[in-house]
């Protein structure tokens, strides 16, 4: 699972539109960027965008990362 898929699932679970998420994030990330991220058109995401999304969801940045990126690599 990638970050875009995680964002979509979390957003839909909270019953938010992309525009709602943009507003909750204080407009620090646009609905267009959210759509591109969710659709895979923008596979890379900046830490600033991750922070804005986390703020919009009321969670930590780590909560938006795929499981394989949450653990130290050996």
- Average confidence score pLDDT of the chain: 93
Percent of the chain with pLDDT over 70: 96
Q: Which domains does the chain have, with CATH numbers?
A: 3-68 (1.10.260.40)
pLDDT surpassing 70 at residue 3: yes
Read off the tokens for 3: 């970050």
pTM to 2 decimals?
Answer: 0.89
38 near 49, Cβ under 8 Å? no
- 3 state SS for the chain: CCHHHHHHHHHHHCCCCHHHHHHHCCCCCCHHHHHHHHHCCCCCCCHHHHHHHHHHHCCCHHHHCCHHHCCCCC
Confidence of residue 74 (pLDDT cuts 50, 70, 90): low
List, for residues 44-60, the tens digit of each pLDDT value: 899 999 999 999 999 99
The pLDDT assigned to 69 comes to 78
């Amino acid at each position: 699972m990638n970050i875009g898929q995680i964002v979509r699932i979390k957003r839909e679970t909270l019953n938010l539109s992309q525009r709602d998420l943009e507003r909750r994030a204080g407009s620090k990330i646009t609905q267009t960027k959210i759509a591109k991220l969710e659709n895979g058109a923008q596979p890379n995401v900046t830490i600033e965008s991750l922070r804005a999304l986390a703020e919009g969801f009321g969670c930590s940045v780590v909560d938006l990362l795929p499981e394989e990126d949450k653990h130290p690599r050996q």
